[in-house]
Amino acid sequence: MNVEKVTEFFMKIADERAGASAVLLTYLGDKLGIWSAMAGAGPVDSAELAARTGLAERYLREWLAGQAVAGHVTYDAATGRFELPAEHAAVLADESSLAFQGGGLEGAAAQWMAADKIADAFRTGAGVAWHDHDPRMFSATARFFGPLYRSSVVDQWLPALDGVVDRLRDGAHVLDVGCGHGTSTILMAQAFPQCQFLGVDYHEESVLAAREAAAKAGVDDRVEFVVAEADAYPAGEWDLICFFDALHDMGDPVGAAAGARASLAPGGAVMLIEPFAADRLEDSIGSPVALAYYTASTMVCVPNSLAQHGTALGAQAGPEQLTEVLKAAGFGTVRRALETEYNLVLEARA
């Protein structure tokens, strides 16, 4: 045994534990609204923050010290005050910011809540369905993807498809399968008011949340959300069918893709958005993005697919396997339209 290597690996795990501890405290700031209370407030001490938030001063004092140690807030030893810099507020307090990470923090909490269930599933091989997760999983997913979708769907992903933006500008029928809280559907509806949109998801609570979000965004005149399995949505001829981070979660991705193919209007396209993944595991070693996706895949995506007696494609299937799924579904053309640090965009045509 090489003692130096033991020490080195000990330090690596210790660093990861420290990171996980920081995530826990940082998530509490999100859940309790402390980050919002600190944003733009200038330097505050624990008593002032308690007055602002209505939270217990002793807890806040300990939490603030931890956040100062983590470097999330600055600490002025002379005044005993803590400040959330504007740049950090953009990441922790501002839901509209493209840098916002509150959804990821909430998602980490939701994944920890599932640890015992997933451990049992490791023993039995059974699945754990999406709807059996802590409710934080659903809101976290919408909040996590929101900033990414706001920066990518309309400006990057749709334009990467062949002629799709022109078709949307002319007025088209768009289907969003596995739409969750409808973030992607609503963004497209805001950008293309001349189109009609349908979002489907098997999870009723998500569909209700999506309807509420559409009404709030003022797009409910052109967006409908219904509860439906991925291969059993209302029949129609769709110019564009989208799967946003959902196909790999499904029990039967080939069936879902084949259903989409059968429902396309002539010349229509399927846009498949999946997490970025390399085709070979050896090309992902050491990637923090792949690590986050493998964690979500183990805790959420594989268990949900198994709960649907599925193939459990996983969130790191990679472009080759995803192309095989689409080809097996009968698509004649499958094209890798775009690759970003976080996503793969595939375009499939009948």
Ligand X SMILES: C[S@@+](CC[C@H](N)C(=O)[O-])C[C@H]1O[C@@H](n2cnc3c(N)ncnc32)[C@H](O)[C@@H]1O
Under rule CB under 6 A, residue 201 binds ligand X? yes
Q: Does 249 bind ligand X (CB under 6 A)?
A: yes
Total residues belonging to the chain: 350
Of 46-54, 138-146, 155-163, 216-224, the window that binds ligand X (rule: CB under 6 A) is 138-146
Binding region for ligand X (CB under 6 A) out of 13-21, 162-170, 198-206, 212-220 = 198-206
Alpha helices in the chain (DSSP H): 3-31, 34-38, 46-53, 57-70, 86-92, 102-113, 115-124, 136-152, 164-170, 183-191, 204-217, 253-263, 288-296, 302-307, 318-328
Please report whether residue 75 would count as binding ligand X according to CB under 6 A: no
Closest CB to ligand X among residues 196, 206 = 206
Contact (CB, 8 A) for 271 and 246? no
CB hemisphere CA count around 10 (13 angstroms): 6
152 forms part of the interface with ligand X (CB under 6 A):
no
Query: Interface with ligand X includes 106 (CB under 6 A)?
Result: no
Q: What is the closest distance, in whole angstroms, from the C-beta atom of residue 248 to ligand X in the complex?
A: 9
- CB-facing half-sphere around the CA of 12: CA atoms within 13 A: 7
- Is position 274 an interface residue for ligand X (rule: CB under 6 A)? no
Within positions 115 to 134, which residues make up the interface with ligand X, using CB under 6 A?
Answer: 130
In whole angstroms, how close is the CB of 209 to ligand X at the nearest point?
Answer: 10
Site for ligand X in 165-194 (CB under 6 A): 178-180, 183-184
Does 245 sit near ligand X (CB under 6 A)? yes
Give me the numbers of helices (H) and strands (E) for the chain, helices first please: 15, 9
Q: How far is the CB of 295 from ligand X (least distance, A)?
A: 13
Query: Structure tokens of 298?
Result: 């183990």
CA distance 268 to 167: 9
CB-based contact 121:302 (threshold 8 Å): no
Q: Which residues contact 71 (CB under 8 A, 6 or more apart)?
A: none
In the bound complex, what is the minimum distance in angstroms from residue 213's beta carbon to ligand X? 11
Q: For residue 90, give the nearest of 9, 35, 33 by alpha carbon.
A: 35
Contact between 250 and ligand X (CB under 6 A)?
A: yes
In the complex with ligand X, the residue whose CB is nearer, 201 or 347, is 201
Does residue 145 interact with ligand X by CB under 6 A? yes
Site residues for ligand X per CB under 6 A: 130, 141-142, 145, 178-180, 183-184, 201-203, 206, 229-230, 244-246, 249-251, 304, 308
